[in-house]
Amino acid sequence: MYKKGDIIVCSSETPGHDLIIGDRYEVTECLIFHGGRVQMNNGDKVALFVTHIKTNKEYSFLSERLFIPLSVYREFKLRNILD
């Protein structure tokens, strides 16, 4: 689960949004939907509010499945270079 301030990387295309795969975004808010209500604790579905690092463009109500942590992305890139 991501928290406010985390740097994440877009890993999937999204219809209706102009997210760029491989670009970095900062989490500005993380909402969790549980039983039809929005809560900030444990729950079922997560919606992220993010800001593009370079352009400062804000995006809201995005699935956490569209992103990977920066550390995972760096490891993936390093493995590609070493292979």
Q: Which tens digit of pLDDT belongs to each residue from 24-82?
A: 999 999 987 766 555 544 445 788 999 999 999 999 999 898 999 999 999 988 988 99
Query: Number of folded domains in the chain?
Result: 1
Give 83 or 25, the one with higher predicted confidence.
Answer: 25
| Alpha carbon distance 69, 34 (integer Å) | 23
- Which residues span the domain enclosing 67? 7-82
Q: Tell me: the pLDDT tens digits for 4-16?
A: 999 999 999 878 8
pLDDT confidence of residue 67: 95
Cα dihedral 4, 61, 68, 45 sign: positive
- Residues in Cβ contact with 78 at an 8 Å cutoff, skipping those fewer than 6 apart: none
| 27: phi then psi, degrees, rounded to nearest 5 | -75, 125
Question: Quick check: is 70 in a domain?
Answer: yes
pLDDT confidence of residue 69: 95
Question: Quick check: is 15 in a domain?
Answer: yes
pLDDT confidence of residue 37: 56
pLDDT confidence of residue 31: 87
Q: How far is CA 66 from CA 37, 48, 82, in A?
A: 22, 10, 26
Question: Quick check: is 78 in a domain?
Answer: yes
| Alpha carbon distance 14, 61 (integer Å) | 12
